[in-house]
């Protein structure tokens, strides 16, 4: 008798378990659909008076979700400080990292005077800190220790960025703006930037990328260029990029690349804003999107 009751209980547990498995995917899909709808509304509201686009990629899926002005998806823009990741990557491969003191201005080996975007300087910085605060002087001095052709080979190692016909002028090579992503020849689309970010994130698992990983983490912490993301209750990896626009001194184009969860990223986000007030507006938008993610913890 007890054996029969026990078998019935086991059978009931199996039935309930199967029922749960059948229901969960549907509930999960509903959650994803609701999140996508709310995200679209949020981006539409935030970009009502601003031209921009948000790309969202779930690495467990093939498709990319695009919010905002989809016409920007395949237009080309300077990557700005996003391309500092290429310079940092080559530096760790060549073991050419610096311990540098940024005063806000300095001179290169050719005596050319250069300035950091932070006129007060970033004080003493190493590679991870230079990534976190996007120190121009650090990366310019680092570039003097690197070979341009090796940097170009590193650029070409990314499928999305490889362009055999891309030629940098001698002036672009000499002024080192390639190290900052400001060379006139460098133009990336938001979609290319997403694929670059996806491949770069996959490389972070390698031990030699530890300091770059730390820098990307600190970008989204207090004192980093995307410190607004510190208000989100989970850790992310991020990189900002700002480049002068065509509409005046205070009109800039801004990039923000985000990946999370921090340890094994599953979600990637690219934000590109035209004529924004530098990276803060992109960071504020990313913060609201991540707070929305927090609302849908089942993602």
CA dist 15 → 4, 7, 18 (Å): 17, 12, 5
Domains of the chain: 44-295 (3.40.710.10)
Residue 114 — φ and ψ, nearest 5°? -130, 160
Angle at 132 between CA 128 and CA 135, to 5 degrees: 90
Angle at 254 between CA 178 and CA 103, to 5 degrees: 60
CA dist 291 → 143, 228, 229, 270, 297 (Å): 37, 11, 9, 16, 10
Distance of CA 95 to the CA centre of its chain: 24
Residue pLDDT, tens place only, 118-158: 999 999 999 999 999 999 999 999 999 999 999 999 999 99
Q: Which residue has the tokens 């938001």?
A: 190
Rounded CA-CA distance 213/68 in Å is 29
Contact call for residues 235 and 260 (beta carbons, < 8 A): yes
Residue 158 — φ and ψ, nearest 5°? -95, 120
What pLDDT, on the 0 to 100 scale, is given for residue 26?
Answer: 60
- Other C-beta atoms within 10 Å of 263: how many? 10
Burial class of residue 152, CB neighbours in 10 A (0-12, 13-18, 19+): middle
Distance of CA 134 to the CA centre of its chain: 13
Average pLDDT, the chain: 87
Contact call for residues 60 and 299 (beta carbons, < 8 A): no
Contact call for residues 289 and 268 (beta carbons, < 8 A): no
What pLDDT, on the 0 to 100 scale, is given for residue 4?
Answer: 53
Residue 269 — φ and ψ, nearest 5°? -140, 135
pLDDT band, very low/low/confident/very high, at 7 (cuts 50, 70, 90): very low
Give me the mean pLDDT over the 284-295 stretch.
92
Range list of β-strands (E), the chain:
52-58, 64-68, 100-102, 105-107, 113-115, 123-125, 237-244, 252-260, 267-276
Give me the mean pLDDT over the 243-257 stretch.
71
In this prediction the pTM is 0.87
Rounded CA-CA distance 81/159 in Å is 20
What pLDDT, on the 0 to 100 scale, is given for residue 12?
Answer: 45
pLDDT band, very low/low/confident/very high, at 19 (cuts 50, 70, 90): very low
């Amino acid at each position: 008798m007890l054996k029969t009751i026990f078998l019935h209980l086991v059978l009931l547990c199996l039935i309930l378990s199967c029922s749960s498995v059948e229901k969960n995917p549907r509930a999960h899909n509903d959650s994803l659909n609701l999140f996508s709808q709310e995200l679209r509304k949020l981006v539409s509201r935030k970009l009502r008076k601003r031209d921009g686009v948000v790309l969202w990629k779930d690495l467990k899926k093939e498709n990319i979700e695009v919010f905002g002005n989809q016409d920007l998806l395949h237009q080309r823009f300077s990557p700005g400080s996003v391309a500092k990741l290429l310079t940092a990557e080559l530096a760790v491969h060549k073991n050419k990292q610096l311990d540098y003191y940024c005063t806000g201005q300095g001179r290169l080996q050719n005596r050319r005077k250069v300035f950091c975007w932070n006129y007060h300087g970033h004080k003493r910085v190493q590679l991870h800190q230079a990534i976190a605060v996007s120190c121009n002087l650090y990366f310019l001095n680092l570039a003097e220790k690197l070979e341009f052709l090796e940097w170009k080979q590193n650029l070409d190692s990314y499928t999305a960025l490889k362009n055999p016909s891309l030629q940098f002028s001698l002036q672009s090579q000499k002024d080192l703006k390639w190290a900052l992503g400001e060379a006139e020849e460098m133009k990336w689309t938001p979609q290319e930037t997403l694929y670059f970010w996806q491949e770069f994130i996959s490389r972070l698992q390698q031990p030699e990328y530890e300091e770059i990983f730390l820098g990307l983490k600190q970008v989204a912490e207090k004192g980093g260029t995307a410190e607004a993301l510190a208000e989100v209750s989970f850790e992310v990896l991020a990189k900002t990029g700002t480049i002068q626009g065509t509409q005046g001194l205070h009109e800039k184009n801004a990039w923000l690349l985000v990946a999370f969860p921090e340890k094994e990223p599953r979600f990637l986000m690219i934000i590109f804003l035209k004529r924004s007030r530098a990276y803060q507006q992109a960071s504020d938008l990313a913060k609201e999107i991540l707070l929305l993610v927090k609302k849908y913890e089942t993602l």
